[in-house]
A = this chain, B = another copy of it.
Amino acid sequence: MTPSSPSNRSKEEVVAEFRRQSLLDAACKVFGEKGFDAATMDAIAEAAGVAKGTIYLYYPSKQVVYEAVFAAGMTTIEDQLTDQIAKAATAREAIGAFVRVRGEYFEQHPEFFRVYVGEVARQLIGLSTTRDASRVATDRQIKVLQHVIEKAVGTGEVRAVDPAAAALVVFDLSKGQIGRRLLHGSTTTVESDIAFLTDLIWSGLQPARGITP
């Protein structure tokens, strides 16, 4: 009703939101290039085009910036995963979608992939205060997949494997493939990688005929 007030509010909020996002983008770039330890607040500030002190108006510490970068990326992936898996008609398509969404996202955001890998390492080492947050994020992605497999086991589409374990398998293979692409450079297309993986996984999940004696 008081148009000025909401508009003012909005403007400030919009500006603030824009700042936060700029900082996140800049931070993702720097963390991806240098790793957590070697990344400096100066570098992030410069990349974001603000003064160093400004970062502290939006995030209380380097650690928290890092966590925010990680959370933002993970959320985006999760949203896309949920979307695409919902559209899949069969379990096989769902698995394919899982592999594809992750493969494509990381392909398009290699800096974030580096942040992601670094964070996983930090978790294993036990340095990450993000530990829980990040595990939750990862777990949610896996849960989506697990659900799909569970249903497929129910319908007999795949043989009676442990859905959780199978989901992890898909997850590991997806991760390994992406890492290799970044590390070695890509000699194959994302598509062919996806096809290979999906095929192999699917074979492994097939109701076997006398395979295990």
A residues neighboring B (CB under 8 Å): 32-38, 113-114, 117-118, 120-127, 135, 161-162, 165-166, 168-169, 171-173, 175-177, 179-180, 182-183, 196-197, 199-206, 208-209, 211-212
Contact = CB atoms under 8 A, between A and B. Distances in A.
B176 A176 contact: yes
Nearest to A183: B124
A100 B200 CA distance: 21
A208 B203 contact: yes
B117 A179 contact: no
Contact of A208 (B121, B177, B197, B206): B206
A114, A125, A179, A183: which has the most chain B beta carbons within 10 Å? A125
Give the 3 A-B residue pairs with the shortest CB-CB distance, closest first. A172-B176, A204-B204, A37-B37
Contact of A125 (B35, B202, B212): B35
A124 to B, nearest CB: 5
Given A35-B122, A125-B32, A202-B211, A176 B165 contact: no
A123 B118 CA distance: 10
Contacts of A175: 172, 176
Contact of A211 (B117, B124, B135, B203): B203
